[in-house]
Amino acid sequence: MLDKLERLPADSILGLAAIAKADANPNKVDLTVGVYMNEDGVCPVFKAVKMAQAALQQEEVSKSYLPPAGVDAFNDGMQQLLFGAGHPALRDGRVSSVQAPGGCGALRIGAEIIFAAAPTAKVWVSDPTWPVHLPLLGSVGLEFETYRYYEPVSHGVNFDGMVEDLKRAQTGDVVLLHGCCHNPCGADLSLEQWGVVADMAEAQGFVPFVDIAYQGLGDGLEEDAAGLRLLAERVPEMIIAASCSKNMGLYRERTGAVMFVCQNRANAEALVSQALVAARRVYSMPPAHGALIAGRILSDQALDEIWRTELMDMCGRMNGLRTGLREKLEAASSRDFAFIEKEKGMFSFLGLSTKQAIRLREEYSVYMLDSSRINVAGVNARNIDYLAQSVASVL
């Protein structure tokens, strides 16, 4: 039986990262996988995470299963983080949540709920979107439509095209939105544009599904959640997939949550029961370590303040890298790269052709996706000049 299965190609991003890792060129630049790197090229552990982890190790007396819904302090803390204290949806008891194995697990449970409620619903995804959105949501049997989003010429959001396409979304359809720091283009909606999307959701009856994996890495924790909060005030129903991989550095701990904004408290409670049944058949029980750490940070004022300061510093460094990269590229190429500075989060399209991206890999050991999507956090003081000169050489 098993010998009939053929070898599949490696994931396009992870496979390229493996090639970069094996490259012996001391000048190589790896801009592939979306992981935050510090100036030393290391994905760091937050001080607040180390402190919470140390306290947990001192206190922990059991490795038994968590409750199926996960850590209460984590679920409550994530709701407060995303919606803000006093949000009407929280005040009215319209929000419920379940801990999940990372943002991916949250997306998958959200997809399970959509399929259970409306198996013929179409999920509208942006063009482009994170490639893993499609297998995560499509594996339950959901079908997709796409809406225009990124405009390569302007390096910004094609909002007119987005609106025109979403006019075809029907009642009961689902529209997948990036909460902030769009992956892979870094071009975000303005708050005014979020309001237009809310108007359309109210009028047409589609359900927003917000994937927010980078809160705090764009303009700040509050600013990055503004669009999500606006939607939650306006629409009767929405789904949210949240992750602590990036803003707490808990990548390997798989720490995420799926949230449901419902029409009333009873419906919110019903959604938890549905999510737990879905989780039982997908992964059974949630992982503990990351959620215990995140829950401790979010519920402890001192740790929370330390974490917020660290995250703010990280965000500031990312925005500084964007400014520096723009300046270096413009100086090396005499071309306009102002768009890099306007984008948010970890990603940007440099606007290169596939041929140019391949040349960068083969001739200069500069690794980016064929689309020229780069992880800005892979840039540092040691490689920025080499990167800029290499890009200029293939233009």
Active site residues: 130, 211, 246
Residues in the chain: 395
Spatial contact of 209 and 241, defined as CB atoms under 8 Å apart: yes
**DSSP-derived 3-state class of residue 61:** coil
Phi, psi of 250 (to 5 degrees): -95, 45
- Residues with Cβ within 8 Å of 319's Cβ and at least 6 positions away in sequence, in order, are none
Q: What end-to-end distance do the CA atoms of the chain give, in Å?
A: 50
d(CA 349, CA 339): 9
Neighbours of 332 (CB within 10 A): 18
Structure tokens that stand for 290 in this block: 């990351």
Name the residue with tokens 């995140």: 294
Q: Which ranges constitute the DSSP H helices of the chain?
A: 12-22, 47-59, 72-83, 88-91, 102-117, 133-138, 159-166, 191-204, 221-224, 226-234, 265-282, 289-299, 301-333, 338-342, 354-364, 384-394
b (16+ CB within 10 A) / e for 340-374: beebbbbbbbbbbeeebbebbbeebbbbbbebbbb
